[in-house]
């Protein structure tokens, strides 16, 4: 499914990030989550987890799903975090600021494990180390 | 002992009424929100970074402060073009030293604004800003618009302390004297708490603002705008009428406006609309800034070097061109070869391509807790927590400077504050360069 | 006409700023002297010969000098900045700010160019045969006036903020544009032969813009005036039927600009 990705803060994301708990299980439970509306959730086959991929197809990340009334069909939300930023569009339109709101992504059901924040750094960003 | 009137160093709200009590091994915090409280717990937390580390052949090991600073100075002195990301969770005093090191080395200096309200600042450069302090809106506003910001979750006390609920001199009944409007593509808790929610489609803020402005100018917007934004024209008209009939409209913008596409142009037209609205009523616009001192860097860099962020010292004098001299762009284009990241978890907050390159190049990170940036760093310098362990200056969301005083001391005998750490680093860098 | 040929040979790991590469600067110099000219790989300066092999001497004047860059230089910025005469041919792609504030002469880029080509250009011709990114012929940050004269031709696509604040001169885009094409335009002419995504001609207060393709999201502050056929602006012709709009009425009391939009491709308007 093609969608526009919105990212932003949630209160618990803020609480955990500011409290220095980015490597906690709670942080992953709060942030490694893709919010979708019921309609899109059904269309995706009610998956427990989805793989979100950036427009260029280069970067993708597996996250859990959460059904919510707060987003409309065709739009998804991931709390501001490393998971979201893996797929945020890096182009800044000559403003310095990436497209944290409204990045085009594709969303599909997956069985991949949801990595924790440290694993993302080690595996995706730092190679095999 | 109970300490009163402590400043919260977490978000741009810089709440100045926090009360803390340090007992052995625990801290009791009053008045701060969930987010603020979490950071106060860092003073006593078990995961606090207490020892400098370096990474050698892929292995992380503890080293002395002196060794860590030596290695940091080596990285910076040997770099052709270092990037300084001077994060906002520390004082202006520390940022200032960082800016001077960047100037000395001919590097690039940037701060959280670049990935936050940078476009807001650019919009202000284009259009000027009818601004006010937070107290103005608190005392006068009878209409509050949260545009592209989920205030309840990003600045939890904004609504209760500055925006909606407090009783003001001319808004004596607090919430009952104010109309609250939220413009957001998502039905956020803030939107739910509002009187009117304009649930526009993502990336259409500019069209909505433009249509509102057209209505204000007495013209009919092109009908296609309903389909584009998802907002019916009569609702737009009603919104403009509501604004005109109010005594004071306080507009607070968030990343939804400055970060969705349109960026600084969204802010620019919003500011122009605000200017025009002042022909009918009082109206001002302010940004809700996520990190405590993100406004401070803009102020500081502007008065020291003429530009608010994204400063390139390559030619020995400051230059500024977002998209060319800004952090995400220089990383994406691989146009720096080392990085110093202070009090901001940069790796966590930037897109993958930029984060990957940052992890690739030699990186020094100054922070208080383990996070993706410390993991990817070659040198980690433990941070001192401003407003708790040392004094200094923050700028609040409305650009009011706030001096903060600590209630305890730096846990490190080697450094009193991040400013102190940076001064020591600067001395070492200078010694190496001038040797 | 004297020709100086530069071949990229250096290490471009960090981008290079080569505002010194202009016919004005090369005129009257021998190949060796040209090789001595300093360019920036910020924060250091180095001789041009460290980055390029130099062949041929400059002409007696700028008019008389052609510079050919024989290769791809995507990481070299500011080529042809402030040039007033002569010619530069780049046989590949180039970096940001090509032809920045140029006042005369000609630059031909056979490949792509990065953002800011022809910023605040005053005269001359800048022809990019490939694609480019943002801020074509645009005003610098906070400035009210973009290009004031000359012509920019892009055969491929451009991205955002094409011709921001343009006051004079012409920009012709063969392909498509994204957002904010002609933002704050107050004079001059922009012709986009392909499609535009959104906010086309936003905040325009003067000048003429033509979009031959489809506009995905139309700017709300425009009013339709008439339908016109086969437009002609001196030597630039746009065939077909066009809807003529004026605006941008989102901007108060500031005069108005003209936006022509292809009828055939935008019937829903
Ligand atoms: S609103 Fe912001 S400044 Fe105030 S207590 Fe919460 S985090 Fe701290």
Q: What sign for the dihedral angle of Cα B388, B389, B392, B395?
A: negative
Residues of C in contact with B261 (CB under 8 A): 179
Does a structural domain hold residue C63?
A: no
Helices (H), B106-254: 118-127, 134-140, 151-154, 189-192, 205-216, 224-229, 233-245
Across B292-296, C110-114, C249-253, which has the greatest mean pLDDT?
A: C110-114
Interchain CB distance below 8 Å, B105 and C13:
no
Calpha distance C96→C78 (Å, rounded): 6
**Triad B126, C197, B331: Cα angle to 5°:** 60
Calpha distance C44→A7 (Å, rounded): 40
| pLDDT score at C34 | 97
Distance B180 CA to ligand 1 centre (A): 21
> Cβ distance B181 to B146 under 8 Å?
yes
Does a structural domain hold residue C82?
A: no
Residues of B in contact with A58 (CB under 8 A): 352-353
Interchain CB distance below 8 Å, B219 and C15:
no
Nearest CA to ligand 1 atom 7: B36
Calpha distance B377→B38 (Å, rounded): 24
- How distant is the alpha carbon of residue B103 from its chain centre? 22
Q: Which domains does chain A have, with CATH numbers?
A: 2-125 (2.40.40.20)
Q: What are the pocket residues of ligand 1 if the criterion is a CB atom closer than 6 Å to any ligand atom?
A: B 8, 10-11, 13-15, 32-33, 35-36, 155-157
**Domain at C227, CATH number:** 2.160.20.60
> Cβ distance B334 to B348 under 8 Å?
no
- Count A/C contacts: CB-CB distance under 8 Å: 11
Distance B90 CA to ligand 1 centre (A): 15
| pLDDT score at B257 | 87
Question: Which residues 323-342 in chain B show a CB within 8 A of chain A?
Answer: 323-324, 326-329, 332
What are B218-249's pLDDT values in tens digits?
A: 999 999 999 999 999 999 999 999 999 999 99
What are C188-243's pLDDT values in tens digits?
A: 999 999 999 999 999 999 999 999 999 999 999 999 999 999 999 999 999 999 99
Give the strands of the sheet with C196-198, arranged side by side.
C177-179, C196-198, C215-217
Is pLDDT of B255 > 90? no
H, E, C per residue of A54-95 = ECCCCCEEEEEEEECCCCCCCEEEEECCHHHHHHCECCCCCC
C186, burial (CB in 10 Å: exposed 0-12, middle 13-18, buried 19+): buried
Q: Which of A102, A14, A32, A85 is nearest to B150 (CA)?
A: A14
- Interface residue C32 vs chain B (CB under 8 A): no
How many C-beta atoms surround the C-beta of residue C144 within 10 A? 11
Interchain CB distance below 8 Å, A93 and C179:
yes
**C-alpha distances in angstroms, A28 versus B91, B162, B352, C3?**
30, 32, 18, 62
Question: Which residues 263-292 in chain B show a CB within 8 A of chain A?
Answer: 263-264, 290
Is pLDDT of A128 > 60? no
HSE-CB for C134 with a 13 A CA cutoff:
19
Across the strands, what pairs with A95? none
Query: What's the pTM?
Result: 0.94
Q: Which domains does chain B have, with CATH numbers?
A: 49-116+292-434 (3.40.50.740), 118-287 (3.40.228.10)
| pLDDT score at B299 | 94
What are B274-288's pLDDT values in tens digits?
A: 999 999 999 999 988
Radius of gyration of chain C from Cα atoms? 20
| pLDDT score at B271 | 94
Calpha distance C105→C88 (Å, rounded): 8
What are B331-389's pLDDT values in tens digits?
A: 999 999 999 999 999 999 999 999 999 999 999 999 999 999 999 999 999 999 999 99
Calpha distance B331→B322 (Å, rounded): 13
**pLDDT grade for A129, boundaries at 50, 70 and 90:** very low
- Tell me the shortest Cα–Cα distance from C198 to chain A, in angstroms: 14
Residue B300 tokens, joined: 């500081």
Question: Which residues 218-257 in chain B show a CB within 8 A of chain A?
Answer: 255-256
- Tell me the shortest Cα–Cα distance from C134 to chain A, in angstroms: 7
Using CA coordinates, name the residue in chain A closest to C115.
A94
Interchain CB distance below 8 Å, A18 and B35:
yes
Does a structural domain hold residue C79?
A: no
Calpha distance C67→C105 (Å, rounded): 11
What are B127-186's pLDDT values in tens digits?
A: 999 888 988 889 999 999 999 998 888 888 998 888 888 898 888 888 889 999 999 988
Write the residue in B107, B204, B214 that is nearest to C249 by C-beta: B214
What are B102-117's pLDDT values in tens digits?
A: 999 999 999 998 888 8
Is pLDDT of B118 > 60? yes
Does a structural domain hold residue C203?
A: yes
**Triad C257, B120, C217: Cα angle to 5°:** 45
Does a structural domain hold residue C73?
A: no
What are C171-181's pLDDT values in tens digits?
A: 999 999 999 99
ipTM confidence:
0.93
Q: What sign for the dihedral angle of Cα A26, A31, A36, A37?
A: positive
| pLDDT score at B390 | 95
What are A104-119's pLDDT values in tens digits?
A: 999 999 999 999 999 9
Mean model confidence pLDDT for chain C: 95
| pLDDT score at A107 | 95
Is pLDDT of A8 > 90? no
What are C45-81's pLDDT values in tens digits?
A: 999 999 999 999 999 999 999 999 999 999 999 999 9
Task: Tell which of A59, A92, A99, A104 to mutate to test the B interface (max B CBs under 10 Å).
Answer: A92
Question: Which residues 395-424 in chain B show a CB within 8 A of chain A?
Answer: none
Interchain CB distance below 8 Å, B213 and C221:
yes
Out of B32, B39, B161, B252, give the residue to mutate to test ligand 1, the one with the largest number of ligand atoms within 8 Å of its CB: B32
H, E, C per residue of C128-190 = ECCCECCCCCCCCCCCCCCCCCCEEEECCCCCCCCCCCCCCCEEEECCCEEECCCCCCEEEEE
Distance B132 CA to ligand 1 centre (A): 20
Is pLDDT of C142 > 90? no
> Cβ distance B382 to B369 under 8 Å?
no
Across the strands, what pairs with B330? none
**Left (φ > 0), alpha (ψ -120 to 50) or beta: where does B138 sit?**
alpha
Calpha distance B371→B105 (Å, rounded): 27
Using CA coordinates, name the residue in chain B closest to C144.
B126
Interchain CB distance below 8 Å, B354 and A120:
no
Domain count for chain C, please give it: 1
Helix (H) or strand (E) holding B300: helix B294-305
Residue C243 tokens, joined: 């809807």
Q: Which of C157, C165, C166, C173 is nearest to C210 (CA)?
A: C173
**pLDDT grade for B215, boundaries at 50, 70 and 90:** very high
- Count B/C contacts: CB-CB distance under 8 Å: 111
- Which whole number is the average pLDDT over B301-315? 95
- Pairing label, strands B392-395, C44-47: unpaired
Residues of A in contact with C134 (CB under 8 A): 93-94
Mean model confidence pLDDT for chain B: 93
Closest atom of ligand 1 to CA, residue A14? 7
Helix (H) or strand (E) holding B433: helix B418-434
Does a structural domain hold residue C236?
A: yes
**Structural domain span for residue C248:** 115-262
Does a structural domain hold residue C198?
A: yes
Residues of C in contact with A93 (CB under 8 A): 134, 159-160, 179
Interchain CB distance below 8 Å, A94 and C133:
yes
Angle, in degrees to the nearest 10, between helices B263-277 and B205-216: 20
Angle, in degrees to the nearest 10, between helices B205-216 and B233-245: 60
């Amino acid at each position: 499914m093609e969608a526009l990705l919105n990212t932003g803060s949630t209160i618990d994301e803020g609480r955990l990030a500011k409290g220095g708990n980015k490597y906690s299980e709670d942080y992953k439970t709060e942030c490694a989550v893709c919010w979708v509306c019921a309609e899109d959730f059904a269309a995706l086959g009610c998956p427990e987890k989805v793989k979100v991929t950036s427009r260029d197809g280069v970067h993708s990340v597996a996250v859990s799903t959460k059904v919510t009334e707060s987003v409309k069909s065709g739009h998804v939300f991931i709390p501001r975090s490393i998971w979201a930023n893996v797929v945020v569009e890096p182009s800044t339109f000559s403003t310095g600021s990436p497209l944290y709101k409204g990045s085009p992504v594709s969303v599909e059901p997956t069985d991949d494990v949801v990595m924790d924040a440290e694993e993302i750094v080690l595996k995706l960003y730092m190679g095999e180390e | 002992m109970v300490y009163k009137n402590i400043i919260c160093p977490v978000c741009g709200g810089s709440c100045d009424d926090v009360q803390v009590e340090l007992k052995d091994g625990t801290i009791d915090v009053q008045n701060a929100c969930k987010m603020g409280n979490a950071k106060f717990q860092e003073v006593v937390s078990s995961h606090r970074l207490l020892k400098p580390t370096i990474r050698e052949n892929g292995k992380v090991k503890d080293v002395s402060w002196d060794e860590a600073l030596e290695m940091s100075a080596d990285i910076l002195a040997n770099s052709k073009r270092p990037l300084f990301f001077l994060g906002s969770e520390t004082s202006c005093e520390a940022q200032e030293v960082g800016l001077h090191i960047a100037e000395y080395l001919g590097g690039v200096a940037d701060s959280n604004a670049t990935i936050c309200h940078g476009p807001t600042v650019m919009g202000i450069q284009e259009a000027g800003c009818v601004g006010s302090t937070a107290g103005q809106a608190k005392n006068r506003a009878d209409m509050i618009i949260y545009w592209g910001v989920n205030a309840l979750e990003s600045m939890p006390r904004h609504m209760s302390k500055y925006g909606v609920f407090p009783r003001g001199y001319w808004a004596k009944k607090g919430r009952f004297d104010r109309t609250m409007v939220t413009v957001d593509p998502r039905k956020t808790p803030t939107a739910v708490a509002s009187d009117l929610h304009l649930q526009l489609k993502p990336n259409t803020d500019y069209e909505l603002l433009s249509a509102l402005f057209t209505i204000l100018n007495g013209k009919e917007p092109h009908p296609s705008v309903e389909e584009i934004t998802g907002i019916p024209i009569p609702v737009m008209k009603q919104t403009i009428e509501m604004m005109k009939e109010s005594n004071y409209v306080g507009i607070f913008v968030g990343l939804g406006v400055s970060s969705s596409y349109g960026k600084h142009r969204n802010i620019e037209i919003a500011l122009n609309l605000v200017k025009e609205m002042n022909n009918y009523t009082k109206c001002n616009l302010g940004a809700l800034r996520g990190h405590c001192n993100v406004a401070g860097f803009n102020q500081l860099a502007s008065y020291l070097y003429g530009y608010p962020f994204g400063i390139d010292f390559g030619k020995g004098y400051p230059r500024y061109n977002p998209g060319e001299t800004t952090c995400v762009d220089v990383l994406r284009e691989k146009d720096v070869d080392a990085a110093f990241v202070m009090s901001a978890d940069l790796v966590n907050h930037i897109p993958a391509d930029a984060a990957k390159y940052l992890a690739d190049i030699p990186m020094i990170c100054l922070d208080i807790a383990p996070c993706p940036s410390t993991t990817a760093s070659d040198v980690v310098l433990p941070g001192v927590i401003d407003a708790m362990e040392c004094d200094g200056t923050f700028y609040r969301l409305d650009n009011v400077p706030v001096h903060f005083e600590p209630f305890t001391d730096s846990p490190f005998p080697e450094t009193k504050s991040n400013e102190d750490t940076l001064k020591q680093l600067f001395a070492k860098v200078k010694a190496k360069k001038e040797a | 006409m004297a020709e100086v040929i530069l071949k990229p040979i250096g290490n471009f790991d960090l981008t290079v700023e080569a505002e010194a590469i202009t016919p004005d600067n090369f005129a009257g110099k021998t190949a060796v002297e040209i090789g001595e000219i300093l360019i920036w790989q910020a924060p250091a300066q180095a001789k041009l010969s460290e980055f390029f092999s130099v062949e041929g001497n400059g002409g007696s004047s700028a008019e008389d000098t052609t510079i050919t860059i024989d290769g791809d230089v995507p990481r070299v910025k500011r080529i042809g900045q402030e040039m007033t005469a002569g010619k530069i041919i780049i046989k590949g792609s180039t970096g940001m700010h090509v032809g920045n504030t140029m006042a005369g002469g000609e630059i031909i880029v056979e490949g792509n160019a990065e953002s800011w080509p022809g910023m605040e250009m005053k005269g001359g011709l800048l022809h990019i045969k490939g694609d480019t990114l943002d801020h074509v012929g645009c005003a610098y940050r906070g400035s009210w006036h973009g290009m004031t004269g000359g012509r920019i031709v892009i055969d491929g696509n451009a991205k955002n903020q094409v011709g921001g604040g343009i006051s004079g001169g012409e920009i012709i885009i063969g392909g498509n544009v994204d957002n904010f094409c002609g933002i704050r335009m107050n004079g001059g002419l922009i012709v986009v032969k392909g499609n535009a995504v959104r906010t086309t001609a936003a905040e325009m207060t003067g000048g003429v813009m033509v979009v031959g393709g489809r506009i995905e999201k139309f700017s709300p502050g425009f009013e339709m005036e008439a339908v016109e056929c086969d437009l002609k602006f001196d030597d630039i012709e746009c065939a077909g039927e066009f809807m003529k709009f004026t605006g941008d009425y989102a901007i108060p009391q500031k005069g108005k600009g003209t936006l022509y939009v292809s009828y055939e491709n935008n019937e829903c308007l």
